[in-house]
Amino acid sequence: MSEANASATRITPGNALRPEDIALLETKPADAVAQYALWLGDDALILAQRLGWWISRAPELEEDVALGNIALDQIGHARSFLTYAGRAWDKTEDDLAYFRREPEFRSVHLVEQPNGDFARTIARQFVVALYQWELYSRLVDSSDPTLAAIAAKAVKEVDYHRDHSIQWTLRLAQGTDESRRRMIAGLKLTWPYVEELFTDHPLVNELGDIAVRPSSLRSSFDEAVKLVLDEADLELPDVPGAIGGGRQGLHSEHLGYILAELQVLAREYPGASW
């Protein structure tokens, strides 16, 4: 059996799909598909970079482990999407993660937001996880088999992230006065960046049934949010949505610092292997 066959058999929805398998694919995604994979890969990468900071700083050791698992899942998704995107341009996941400049990144502003206190991180997780779950639940039906396969693995993991963030949202909202105050503040700081997640972009028109149309996820996302906020006795934050632009390479001021840290070592030794 040739390597191509070996990997082809692995690329079926539900199979544990590793970036190493995707790197062996013979098929190259079209440029637009690769661009779309960058969206999803960059979101996961920047989020993992943010979450990784918590390991050794969480409120309790059990939570170090929990956030670690979430960060590891996200970095796994990032590696798969970036590896797949890179196939279009003969680049590796690391070429894309370490040697692109800020305007070439496609992450949304939400994942770039600072960790803040635990409540702010949970608020961001709550939004990201609910969004990613809606997204991957639809992406499993993508007509692109690789995207569908990555989504099939990711959706199960993100389902757990969703649960984790909901559990904490309920506890912080209804724990003590202080935790409630912090949870409300965290949601308020997070909410301006929700709108960008559901904003359509010409790229999805081009992709047809390969991609998921962001605006199509909004109503189920809103319903899911409402259920949790009702149970937590929280109001939807009344704040205006911020102008995004991440998908066009227009980022928040935070991304520059994130990339400076992420890329520093790789760029100090260009061409080195690690």
Residues contributing to the site for another protein (CB under 8 A): 19, 45, 48-49, 52-53, 55-66, 68-69, 71-72, 75-76, 78-79, 82, 93-94, 97-98, 117-118, 160, 163-164, 167, 170-172, 174-176, 178-179, 182, 261-262, 264-266, 269, 271-274
> Least Å distance between CB 63 and another protein?
8
- Taking the complex as a whole, the smallest distance from the CB of residue 52 to another protein amounts, in Å, to 4
CA-based nearest residue to 44, from 122, 156, 121, 128: 128
Q: How far is the CB of 164 from another protein (least distance, A)?
A: 7
Q: CB-wise, 165 or 252, nearer to another protein? A: 165
Q: Which is nearer to another protein, 235 or 261 (CB)?
A: 261
Q: Select 11 or 122, whichever has its Cβ closest to another protein.
A: 122
Nearest to 121 by CA among 41, 43, 44, 47: 47
Nearer to another protein, 27 or 92 (CB): 92
Least separation in angstroms between residue 220's CB and another protein is 24
Helix (H, G, I), strand (E, B) or coil at 92: coil
Residue whose CB is less far from another protein, 66 or 110: 66
